[in-house]
Amino acid sequence: MNVDGAMKQDRRGFLRVAGTTTAALALGGLPFAAHAARAATEKLKIGVVGSGRVGGTLGGVWVKAGHEVMFSSRDLEHDKKLAANLGPNARAGTPREAAAFGEVLLISVPYRALPDVGKDLGNLVKGKVVIDTCNPIPSRDGDIATWAREKGAGLASAELLPGARIVRGFNAIGYARMGAAHEQPGRIGMPIAGDDAQAVAVASRLIREIGYEPVLIGGLAMGKYLMPGTPLAGERTPDQIRQIAATLK
């Protein structure tokens, strides 16, 4: 599957989502549609929950791309320093403040923290596009990771973050490379999985803006392949990802 056609604007200003002209998106007063339309062209507010290696790096490159980013973790002082180094488009807050601030959320915590994050954020994630980088690693995260692997990481995250419009992404490349893809735009593919076409389109835009070419491998059930140690792990071209994804079920 390819996300290139997931969200395009036609001459009448309608948005095409997954190949279907969605007339409703041209009507004012529909928050969901309005959000998707804005996401196609305007700068976004991004809430980062988990401002460690991945969250700090991705949040930083999105700040450089012109978005407004609020960083959060359980260490507000760390996040204030991080934001101060990135300039006026960056700020710091609690995880609940970041979730309320963000039109799009990046959740990037150790998997063992995800149940608490889900409870803490509660309704704040409902209806929001959430990019989920979190990998269940039993040796690090314990029983919750074993459960998530059995269920599949995408479906498990959806259960822990009820109501979120989850897109799995950035799961199996090293954080140190996440700020470098823009040096050769489109060369490296980013496999993603999600059930919500508009959430996929918004995430795809953010992924493309920092230099990766998003490749939708399927719905959240396919998120089980977006982890270290799977055939899709590591840096690959978009075509390589498509070829590998075609062999997976």
Q: Does 199 bind ligand NAP (CB under 6 A)?
A: no
**What stretches of 79-119 adopt beta strand conformation (E)?**
90-92, 104-107
Question: Total residues at the site for ligand NAP (CB under 6 A)?
Answer: 26
- Rank residues 139 and 247 by Cβ distance to ligand NAP and give the closer one: 139
Instruction: Please state, in angstroms and rounded to a whole number, the distance separating the CA atoms of residues 10 and 7.
Output: 10
- Rank residues 39 and 54 by Cβ distance to ligand NAP and give the closer one: 54
HEC assignment per residue over 131-143: EECCCCCHHHHCH
The DSSP secondary-structure symbol of 31 reads: H
Tell me the CA distances in angstroms from 21 to 6, 16, 129, 199, 220, one per residue in order.
11, 5, 21, 16, 24
We find the least distance from the C-beta atom of residue 206 to ligand NAP, in angstroms, to be: 16
Residue facing ligand NAP at closest CB distance: 52
- Rank residues 44 and 49 by Cβ distance to ligand NAP and give the closer one: 49
- Of 20, 64, 17, 23, which Cα lies nearest the Cα of 40? 17
Q: Does 163 bind ligand NAP (CB under 6 A)?
A: no
**Stretch touching ligand NAP by CB under 6 A, among 34-42, 50-58, 60-68, 209-217:** 50-58
Q: Does 181 bind ligand NAP (CB under 6 A)?
A: no
Q: Does 95 bind ligand NAP (CB under 6 A)?
A: yes
10 Å CB burial of residue 236 (0-12, 13-18, 19+) is buried
Could you tell me if 215 and 187 are in contact, meaning their C-beta atoms sit under 8 angstroms apart? Answer: no
- Rank residues 38 and 53 by Cβ distance to ligand NAP and give the closer one: 53
We find the least distance from the C-beta atom of residue 78 to ligand NAP, in angstroms, to be: 6
Q: Does 75 bind ligand NAP (CB under 6 A)?
A: yes
Q: Which residues of 40-79 are buried (b: 16+ CB within 10 A; e: fewer)?
A: eeeebbbbbbbbbebbbbbbbbbbbbebbbbbbbeeeebb
**Stretch touching ligand NAP by CB under 6 A, among 16-24, 130-138, 184-192, 231-239:** 130-138
Q: Does 218 bind ligand NAP (CB under 6 A)?
A: no
- Which residues are at the interface with ligand NAP (CB under 6 A)? 49-55, 73-75, 95, 108-111, 113, 116-117, 133-135, 137, 170-171, 174-175
